[in-house]
A and B are shown apart, each in its own frame.
Chain A
Amino acid sequence: MADKIIDDVLDKCACTTDLKAPKGMQGKEQLELYRKMMQIREFDTKVKDLWMENKIYGLAHSYVGAEAIAVGTCHALNPDDAITSTHRGHGHVIAKGGDIKKMMAELFGKYEGYNHGKGGSMHIADVKNGMLGATGIVGSGMPLAVGSALAADLLGNKKVTICFHGDGGTNQGVWHESVNMAAAWSLPVLFVIENNQMAIGTELNKVTKMTDLYKRADAYGIPGILVDGFNVFDVYKAVKQGVDRARRGEGPSVIEARFLRLLGHFVADDQWYRDLEAVKPYWDLDPIVRMRKYLIEQSISSMEEIEKIEKGVVEEIQEAIRHASEDCSEPPPETLYTNIYANDERIS
């Protein structure tokens, strides 16, 4: 069945669309998109190593392969716009301009981490920066995005909210409830489906008859757009259009970014349940490989410049790991009881 899914992806989305920067986007800006994608790739590559070495623990889900979606989407946002995340949140934090050192410290369980060691990978949040938190329950962040948009609408602050979620999440009841309410009230929110075709080990077409998820938008009377989830410019252009529309008060959109999950569900998943041979060709469509090729071919950058960017990113992640392991501390035991209630009220 794995081939069937992959054929679907190839037929309907191709995932082989040409990279083409939007009109007016300077080379420097394009390189910045590449750098951000590299940051996510390197961060989550190292997270897997660290997990295998038992330096970080719990559950961690890799954003490798989906970089173009978070980066393309967040590039279309203002700094004070908001996003909700999934269990796969590292890419969202980085794309939203979060602090890599604080995120790595959090994964190490350290007090200096984003969540003071109380959240870890699955609950990574940077609320001040508009990242309303990763969540370990599929779909639970969706109505929050609608609430964030409702607040923006009432407060009149013109903020737009992005609801990131996967194909798996679209089969939760709250997906339908959330899209329906956002549409009914014309709220400034975009539902960005990271359609990686897999709900852990269950392929989309085994649990969904109509796998063109963007078409579901029709049922709610709002636009639905399909984009190549491996193509950062494709994602950016579609999201930008939706964000502009939302900011004008014209309501929500659904954007299906279709791609294929290249790695396992979580970092230590060996994917025994999956035909990995069928996945192999997709590594050629990898958003980072294609972007690098594009940047060189279009003479937007030299190989040296790209290597310099990559080296910078590797060093940055290395420094984040060093910071987390050497500079940071375990949470003091008394913090066990803080942050349960406002003003650290204790209720026994």
Chain B
Amino acid sequence: MRIITVREALNEAMSQEMARDKTVILMGCDVAVRGNPFGVSKGLLQKLGPKRIIDTPISEAGFTGVGVGAAAMGLRPIVEILYSDWITLAMDQIVNMAAKMRYMFGGNIEMPLVIRAPFGAGGGNAAQHSQSFEAWFNNVPGLKVAAPITAYDLKGMLTTAIRDNNPVIFFEHKRAYQHKGEVPEEQYTVPFGKAAIRREGKDITIVSYSMMALRSIEAAEELEKEGISCEVIDLRSLVPLDYDTVMESIRKTNRVVVAQESHLRGSLASDIVAEIIDRGFDYLDAPPIRVGSLNVPMPYNIGLENMVVPNKETIKQAVYKALGNK
């Protein structure tokens, strides 16, 4: 199969869906002329014109709200927040408007809105350009949240997100844009709410997503050589979250590590562990172990940053801990 970058896969997802559906638009800072800072939307302006590929002023609350209003009135907007850290500026529009309007209005509105949010740490971008806020949105009924990592999933799930009639927060790990993977040329969709088992194993389950799913696979490969068989689950979709697959795996392995990149306190890992205990405490032979960033703001210095963000080694240590009483 053809191999392309994540950035190309996302570009293709938008380009193809926009050709198919004339109501899809893209708006955000620098998405048109410059094609976004990561080159994700490069060329779309030339293909689709300035009415559909819109460079906005630096007004995150305002243009996210414009997306909400346009979605309510017949368009399918994709709103891009240049770095997901700045989604804070648009929180009112996302949390109090987009997520709530269908419910508040008794179902009498549609909200087909995608918010693309490049997230994640790495490269010394410091405290305002490195964060992972998915846990905040997990706490807001009315939103869907996706964080796929492979080029194949990113293309397929972005297409799904655009076609979904609900507001979707679509997290793209910005350190993955240059990653490559097999991606079909034709359109296809990858559903929400279905996790992918990246590696089968019998000793322990590692539940993960986005960059930490890749780190978990690397950890599992090394652990395999030590005779530890890890089952690695890439959740891909966070709301809804495929607990059926998670629990099925735990019933087999009886041990679990949940690894993700956001600060551990109040993280999705904490929530997933709580849900695992609710659903199947009796299947567990050892306490579940969470992996996440240290609870400190992201420092600039690369050495310090590397201390904050989990990596392959952190995940391996968590696996040893979970297997401690075996």
A residues contacting B by CB (< 8 A) are: 82, 84, 113-119, 123, 125-128, 132-133, 135, 137, 140, 142-155, 159, 161, 173-174, 177-178, 180-181, 184, 338-343, 345, 347
- Give B97's nearest chain A residue, CB to CB: A140
Q: Are B57 and A184 in contact (CB under 8 A)?
A: yes
Given known A151-B73, A154-B52, contact A177–B108 (CB-CB < 8 A): no
Q: Are B105 and A133 in contact (CB under 8 A)?
A: yes
Q: Are B108 and A154 in contact (CB under 8 A)?
A: no
- Give B70's nearest chain A residue, CB to CB: A147
Question: B60-68, B127-135, B169-177: which lies at the A interface?
Answer: B60-68
7 additional contacts, CB 8 Å, given A125-B101, A153-B51, A154-B75? A115-B104, A119-B104, A127-B108, A133-B101, A143-B69, A173-B61, A342-B164
Q: Are B107 and A123 in contact (CB under 8 A)?
A: no
B302 at the A interface (CB under 8 A): no
Q: Are B106 and A150 in contact (CB under 8 A)?
A: no
- Give A139's nearest chain B residue, CB to CB: B92
| Chain A contacts for B103, CB-based, 8 A | 118, 339-340
Given known A115-B108, A181-B62, contact A341–B57 (CB-CB < 8 A): no
Given known A125-B104, A347-B240, contact A132–B63 (CB-CB < 8 A): no
| Chain B contacts for A155, CB-based, 8 A | 23, 74-75
| Chain B contacts for A140, CB-based, 8 A | 65, 92-93, 96-97
| Chain A contacts for B111, CB-based, 8 A | 342
Q: Are B64 and A342 in contact (CB under 8 A)?
A: no
- Give B142's nearest chain A residue, CB to CB: A340
Q: Are B108 and A151 in contact (CB under 8 A)?
A: no
- One digit per residue, 1 when the CB lies within 8 angstroms of any chain A CB and 0 when it does not, for chain B 85-114 equals 000000011001100011111111111000
Q: How far is the CB of A110 from chain B (nearest CB, A)?
A: 11
Tally of chain B residues near chain A (CB < 8 A) = 47
| Chain A contacts for B64, CB-based, 8 A | 143
Q: How far is the CB of B143 from chain A (nearest CB, A)?
A: 9
Complex-state Cα separation, A319 to B24, whole angstroms: 45
Given known A82-B73, A151-B75, contact A143–B66 (CB-CB < 8 A): yes
A-B contact pairs, 7 of them (CB 8 A): A127-B109, A147-B72, A150-B70, A159-B73, A339-B103, A341-B102, A342-B165
Q: How far is the CB of B70 from chain A (nearest CB, A)?
A: 4
Given known A140-B93, A180-B57, contact A118–B101 (CB-CB < 8 A): no
Q: Are A339 and B65 in contact (CB under 8 A)?
A: no
| Chain A contacts for B72, CB-based, 8 A | 127, 132, 144, 147-148
Q: Are B110 and A342 in contact (CB under 8 A)?
A: yes
B78 at the A interface (CB under 8 A): no
Q: Are A115 and B65 in contact (CB under 8 A)?
A: no
Q: Ordered nearest first, which 6 A-B pairs have the shortest CB separation? A: A147-B69, A143-B65, A177-B62, A144-B69, A116-B106, A342-B165
- Give A132's nearest chain B residue, CB to CB: B72
Given known A116-B106, A116-B107, A125-B108, contact A135–B97 (CB-CB < 8 A): yes
- One digit per residue, 1 when the CB lies within 8 angstroms of any chain A CB and 0 when it does not, for chain B 21-51 equals 0010100000000000000000000000001
B residues contacting A by CB (< 8 A) are: 23, 25, 51-52, 56-57, 59, 61-75, 77, 92-93, 96-97, 101-111, 141-142, 144, 164-166, 193, 239-240
Q: Are A339 and B102 in contact (CB under 8 A)?
A: yes
Q: Are B104 and A151 in contact (CB under 8 A)?
A: no
| Chain B contacts for A154, CB-based, 8 A | 23, 25, 51-52, 75
Q: Which residue in B66, B69, B193 is a CB contact (below 8 Å) of A132?
A: B69
Most B Cβ at <10 Å: residue of A116, A153, A155, A340: A340
Q: How far is the CB of B72 from chain A (nearest CB, A)?
A: 6
Q: How far is the CB of B147 from chain A (nearest CB, A)?
A: 16
Given known A147-B68, A147-B72, contact A342–B59 (CB-CB < 8 A): no
Q: Are A143 and B62 in contact (CB under 8 A)?
A: yes
Complex-state Cα separation, A113 to B23, whole angstroms: 31
Q: How far is the CB of B223 from chain A (nearest CB, A)?
A: 32
| Chain A contacts for B25, CB-based, 8 A | 154
Q: Which residue in A114, A117, A147 is a CB contact (below 8 Å) of B66?
A: A147
Q: Which residue in A119, A142, A177 is a CB contact (below 8 Å) of B105?
A: A119
| Chain A contacts for B104, CB-based, 8 A | 115, 118-119, 123, 125, 133
Q: How far is the CB of A66 from chain B (nearest CB, A)?
A: 23
Complex-state Cα separation, A338 to B72, whole angstroms: 19
- Give B101's nearest chain A residue, CB to CB: A133
Most B Cβ at <10 Å: residue of A133, A147, A155, A180: A147
Q: Are A145 and B69 in contact (CB under 8 A)?
A: yes
- Give A175's nearest chain B residue, CB to CB: B62
Q: Which residue in A149, A152, A181 is a CB contact (below 8 Å) of B56?
A: A181
Q: Are A151 and B51 in contact (CB under 8 A)?
A: no
| Chain B contacts for A143, CB-based, 8 A | 61-66, 68-69, 93
Most B Cβ at <10 Å: residue of A143, A145, A159, A347: A143
| Chain A contacts for B63, CB-based, 8 A | 143, 177, 181
Q: Are B51 and A177 in contact (CB under 8 A)?
A: no
